[in-house]
Amino acid sequence: MSCHRVRLSRSLRLLATCLIILGLAGGCTRGGSGSGSTAPGSALNVVAAENFYGDIGKQLGGPAVRVTSIITDPNADPHEYESSSDNAKAIAAARLVIVNGAGYDTFMDKLLAASPSRDRKVITAATILGKREGDNPHIWYDVSGMQQVADQITQALQTLDPAGRDAYAMRNQRFKSSLQPLLDRMIAIKAKYEGTHLTQTEPVFGYMGDALGLTIDDGDFQHASEEGTDPSPQAVAAINQEIRSHTVKALLYNSQTTGPVTTKVKDLAKQAGVPVVGVSETEPANQTYQSWMLSQLSTLQAALGG
């Protein structure tokens, strides 16, 4: 609504109404011109499909961002998540959206399509790392890849909020420095256990396993479990035999997507004295991406013998 069209003959009440509406509109158009600037005292709305991306976004954005993570429940199966009206509202208000991609969080495609915005930036981690649907989508277990994702998030924040450019660059460097204890632990594990044979219920840990030089089963059993179907009797027999014969040093167990078959495998491993190492797809409460990854590595290291 434009106030210069209000005729002087109109009542003062209508004029006051016009001014109020104009004031509200001005308060809602931060960045709406496409300039990417952030009004003083305001924060950029950031939405992350998964809470570990939300955590990284918060670390990189600091007080200049307001982050909403959609998947936060450690008991939720991200593959089967159904979005809500609250999710749609968050997307509509977002200036920056961070998604995993590679077919992992397809519910985000629908949310974004339902609320198009030329001023919104979308970061897709899989695209940055050259992954597509059909590849292992658990790319947050690629620590070096997450540094590349962090760079892209930082660049997006700098574009949306040029005045904070130096602060975003500083937080990006701080984030990368904070990964050093994690990287050091990875080096230590690889030096001692490279080539060690493990099995798993799902290929969640794949990229981390590659970085550690571990040999981890990634066959019919694992992919059937990931897709929510029952593994073939032959696949079940094969993993059970590996555990009973101790040809695997440990079992990596996805603690979020459990079922009767994977639970039986875990129970068999415990009975056989094969260490079970829990891995998850969602960052636990009260942890950071760094502490979450480091905690899982510490558990794995202990399982392998310290």
Does residue 38 lie in a domain region?
no
What 8-state DSSP symbol labels residue 273?
T
Checking if the pLDDT of 187 tops 70, the result is yes
Q: What is the pLDDT of residue 41?
A: 54
Q: Does residue 171 share a domain with residue 61? A: yes
Checking if the pLDDT of 239 tops 80, the result is yes
Q: Does residue 140 share a domain with residue 75? A: yes
- Among residues 159, 178, 197, the one where a domain terminates is 178
Q: Does residue 188 share a domain with residue 124? A: no
Q: Assign residue 186 the CATH number of its domain.
A: 3.40.50.1980
Does residue 286 lie in a domain region?
yes
Does residue 138 lie in a domain region?
yes
Does residue 135 lie in a domain region?
yes
Do residues 57 and 65 touch, judged by C-beta distance below 8 A? yes
Q: Does residue 173 share a domain with residue 185? A: no
Q: Does residue 222 share a domain with residue 124? A: no
Task: Supply the range of the domain harboring residue 237.
Answer: 181-304
Domains held by the chain: number: 3
Checking if the pLDDT of 304 tops 80, the result is yes
**pLDDT of 8-67, one tens digit each?**
333 333 333 333 333 333 333 333 323 333 455 589 999 999 999 999 999 999 999 999
Q: Which residues pair with 200 in a beta bridge?
A: 252
Does residue 39 lie in a domain region?
no
Q: Does residue 173 share a domain with residue 80? A: yes
Q: Name the more confident of 6 and 116.
A: 116
Q: What is the pLDDT of residue 256?
A: 82
- Among residues 146, 178, 210, the one where a domain terminates is 178
Q: Does residue 118 share a domain with residue 4? A: no
What's the token pair of residue 229?
């179907």
Which contacts qualify for 144-148: CB closer than 8 Å, 24 or more apart? Answer: 144/211, 145/207, 146/56, 146/179, 146/289, 147/176, 147/179
What's the token pair of residue 245?
């014969």
Local confidence band at 155 (pLDDT 50, 70, 90 cut-offs) = very high
